[in-house]
Each structure stands twice: as C-alpha cells, then as structure tokens.
Amino acid sequence: MTDPGGSGALVLDRDQTGAALPPDAVLAAVRTALVAISRGDVSAPPRVAARSGHGLLGAMPGFVPELGLSAKLVSVFGGAGEGGHGAHRGIVAHFDAESGRLLAVMDAEAITAVRTAATATAAMLALARPDATRFAVIGTGTQARAQIAFLASLESVELVVGARDLVKAERLVAEFDFGSASSIEAAVRTADVVFCCTSSRQPVVRREWLTGGAHLSSVGGSDGPEFDAATLLSSSLFVEWPGAVTEPPPAGAWELQDADLGKADLIGAVLDGRHPGRRSATELTVFKSTGHAALDVAAASVVYEEARRRGLGITVNL
C-alpha cells in the first residue's frame, strides 16, 4: 500500500483509532487476513514477549498482501487500568509495504479489541448453526464490550451476558440496552453460541454446560485456559494459525498445548470454501483465537484509510 502524500506519519489517539474502525470494513479485512493465513501468504513470526514481574510486553509484526505491513507492541497486565483502559495497552505502527516508510501510529487497545471481535464474529458466521439466535458473551471487560457491539448489529439475536460478578454484567447490558445478565453456567446452558472474553486463569466454560450443536468462541485466556479439556475432546476445533497448537503461550493457546495438530483446522480455509466447517446440526464447534499479527495488519489498514478519509489525527515528522 503506497502513501501519495507527505513525509510525516499520522498519529491517532485511542478515541480517534476507535472512530476509524467501522465494523463492516474490519470484518471484511479480517476475513481477507484469515484466508491469507490459511493459504500461507502471510509473513508473520510467532509472537514474542518480555515478562516483568507483573505482566508481559509482546511484539507482533506482520505483512498481508492487499492489506499492508504493520507491527504491534502491546503490554498485557492483569486488570483494568485508569481512564477506562483494559489489560492490553500499546501501539500499532503501520508502514508503506513498498518503501518501508512509517505511515501511522495508532492505539493498540482499540485495534486489538475490535479486530478480535471481528475475527470471532467471522468464525461464528462460518461455523454456527444457521438457526442460532441465542448468544452468550462471557466476561465484562474491554473485549466483551467489543463483542457485544458487533453482535448488536446482527438481526434476531437474543443476548445474555454471563459473569461471576452479576452487578458488572447488569451494568454492561444496561450500557448497551441490549440483552440480560446471568451467571456463567446459566448463560452457557441456554446459548446456541458462546463467546468467552475473559482473563481467567481457570476454565469458565465446561462441556456439560454446552448444548448440542453449540458453537464456542474463546478469545481470552492469556494466562490460562477458558474452557476445559472435555470440551476440546468432544469438539471440532478451528484456529487462526497452526501455531495456536504448536507454539507455547503466549503465542499458542493454553487449552491446546496437549492437542494434536491434526485436530485443528484453519478458519481461513472454511471462509475460503476449502473446508466444509460444520458438518451436522449436533456437532460442537470450537474456535480458539490466540490473536495473529495479520489481524492487526487488517485492522490497521482500515484505520489508516478511514482516518485519512475523515481527516482524523495529527501528522508528525518521525
């Protein structure tokens, strides 16, 4: 992607980055990225991280044909921070893929939340039963909010937010004026589709709670598993990239460390029509997301074009 104007770099704060992430455009871009991953067209090394005594600092560079060249530098520390921030904070730098010139610097928290929700939504649309209408979002943090925002744009969705803290769940549904609040178990037991968006170190979803033919999406669990081993054993598993199984955390998934790579299929192959995805109405499907640099590239490309179109941010000489 080339930049026709100037030599400065566009700098966008958190609000400006969020404003430049229209859901439809992000959903289309992450679909492109997921297909590119499945075809081996992406250049992106496994995520690396430096750990302090309180959290980690991860680095994720990537190149995706048609979308561009970007790198995310993000810290992951437990709990929400001041000013409404979540546990993920940092920057995404977007570069000209032909010259290597820095084009833009944007907020990583907004990028991570929206591209993750878009990825989980793309996987759900490909894998869930066509008649699925009852949706559960497990969690009350930044990622749960981003996922609810995506679901709110879908038709005929009945939403329940499941959480250990019902007060937080009730506040979240009131904020969106969408859905109801419940315990985690009750929310899962009534859902056709479950989105796990937590920072839990222990499983929050158990196999016996999931209904026949349900779809489970797990996008959290940076420090531990979100679902139990029985769920993995009885499901058809889909991932963004093979490293979700073969790489140790934080690049790979906690839940998949003992899994057979042959059990995991790439969601991009389903989106591309090379894999059938769900094969029956009673099949349990699981999408485990670890995040991937290609998805940050996808979101960053959308932010850059949208910000330029709308005149967002400031230009600085970097």
pLDDT digit string, tens, across residues 85-133: 556 789 999 999 999 999 999 999 999 999 999 999 999 999 999 999 9
Listed residue (204, 222, 215, 229) closest to 138, CA to CA: 204
Cα separation, 160 vs 157, in Å, equals: 10
Cα separation, 188 vs 159, in Å, equals: 11
In the chain, ranges of CATH 3.40.50.720 domains = 118-288
Looking at residue 3, what is its pLDDT? Answer: 45
**Is the CB of residue 25 less than 8 Å from the CB of residue 302?**
yes
∠ at Cα 126 (121, 132), nearest 5°?
80
For residue 14, how many C-alpha atoms fall within 13 Å in the half-sphere facing its CB? Answer: 11
Pinpoint the alpha helices (H) of 80-224.
108-127, 142-151, 166-176, 184-189
Name beta bridge partners: 316: 9
Average pLDDT over residues 201-225: 94
**Is the CB of residue 157 less than 8 Å from the CB of residue 133?**
yes
Architecture of domain 9-112+293-316: 2-Layer Sandwich (3.30)
Architecture of domain 118-288: 3-Layer(aba) Sandwich (3.40)
Phi first, then psi: give them for residue 106, nearest 5 degrees. -140, 170
In the chain, ranges of CATH 3.30.1780.10 domains = 9-112+293-316
Cα separation, 104 vs 98, in Å, equals: 15
Asked if the model's pLDDT at residue 83 lies above 80, the reply is no
Asked if the model's pLDDT at residue 35 lies above 60, the reply is yes
